[in-house]
Amino acid sequence: MGCMYGGITAAGSDRLIFATHAGDVLFFDLAARRIHKRFGHFPYEPELAHFCDVIVEPEGTLLLADTRNCRVRRFSMDGVQLQRFGRPATREDQDEAGVLAGPRALLLAGDVLWVCCGDAELFNGVQRLGRTGDPLGAVPHGGESERRWSYPQGIAEVEGRVWIAETGAACIHVHELGGSFVSSHPLEADLQFPIRLAADGFGGALLLAENEMQEPTGVVRLDGNAEAVERVVTIGPEPGKVQRAFDIAALPDGRFLVADLLEIDPADVRLQLFRSNGTLEQVIFENSEELGLMVTEYEHELLARTDPAPAELYSQARVLHRHAQGDKGRPEHVRTIYEAVLESEPEHLRARTALASLLLRDLRKPREAEREYLRALEAGGEESDMLARVAQCRREAGNLNEAIRTLEAALEKPEPPESYHTLVEELGTYYLERSAEAPEGP
């Protein structure tokens, strides 16, 4: 199963950040048991499509592993994307450093970012990057650079060393902070598929795993030698136990958070806070329905604010935009708010692209949307991404040949656009449409 349902991290002793697989980033106040901030995905923004892990940097910025788009993204706490790095693997360069095939887990150790990614086809399953994304080299598997990693997806810093959970090999690997290999520790059959790790603050780690039958095994404590010594939280649907846990995060005081699934299809997420000894302190939300109610409460509070500042207006517009579809939606009202933000801050890139998305998908005005995307490009938007969106506008406006040329140009840029693989498939669709429109031969 692994970590395909999102990631959690602690932000101090009383704050939690939950990055969902749908691309939302939710900030929780643990003491008040409420959401106090939110940013991320809303309709027709495919680039924020699948977050799998999140960590907080010392400066207060966020790093998120975007599994679907093969990138690590840096955001401000207010949701402004500051940087992105990594790129999808191709047949020609799949083993090059810096190619992040499906990044799943992140660790910031000093000024070095460790990324667990790749699969059995890639040597570079664990990579080390500088803070700005510059590749520092792959981490050798077991000290042997010619060996391949098999689905590493858990990582933690324990007592000045890096522990890596390799799911496909049922091992915990220990490395020095510089990357050199120290030792491997095979796991017993009951922990055959390790999923996530978190340093416990007592010289060991907390492990999420599955047994040889791929059944969950709860939360297990490992000692400093990566030996299982205690089942801290057992399996079960009731509060104080966990079902299929997909991520774990430790707080500075030894407490820890566990995100698990009560049901897999559709995913029903629960989040609980435990004391260091494994006893339940609180259920933050007990299922996805309760989480939805917490999101709704946050949105109502946000919309009730009267602060006319552009940032506040933009946040309100985002909430209204989410609900702008359908007969009861008010997309023209949302447009008015975005335009008010841009009147105060013409260089507000997020408001510009959100307005363009609204014009294209909700108001069905592709020519106006194209103009907004081109303005976003002038305001500093990524060239390949803006061109890809312009291509969508031109297709909706009936200019299929022009859309194809524009999308081809976007895909040929040195920095590939967001959702690269999705856009390649979309280009194939364009080609099929053009073939269908071509007149039949004699």
Nearest to 167 by CA among 127, 135, 125, 199: 125
**pLDDT score of 43:** 43
Tell me how far CA of residue 87 lies from CA of 52, 132, 208, 292, in angstroms: 16, 14, 28, 33
Max intra-chain CA distance, the chain: 79
Who's near 269: CB < 8 A, 6+ residues apart?
A: 5, 6, 259, 260, 261, 262, 285, 287, 288, 291
* pLDDT for residue 126: 92
Token digits for 35? 């959401």
Alpha-carbon 244 to chain mean position: 19
CATH architecture observed for domain 6-287? 6 Propeller (2.120)
Distance (Å, rounded) from C-alpha 95 to C-alpha 110?
25
How far does Cα 76 stand from its chain's mean position?
A: 14
Q: How many CB atoms lie within 10 A of CB 251?
A: 21
Residue 422 in tokens: 């999705």
Please tell me the pTM assigned to this model.
0.89
Fold entry, domain 294-437:
1.25.40
> What residue segments make up the domains of the chain, in order of their start?
6-287, 294-437
> Strand order of the sheet with strand 15-20?
6-10, 15-20, 24-29, 34-40
In this predicted structure, what is the pLDDT of residue 120?
Answer: 55
* Average pLDDT for runs of 10 along the chain of length 442: 78 93 92 91 56 95 90 90 80 70 93 86 80 90 80 95 94 95 93 95 95 90 95 96 96 95 90 97 96 95 90 90 70 94 93 93 94 94 90 94 94 79 85 82 54
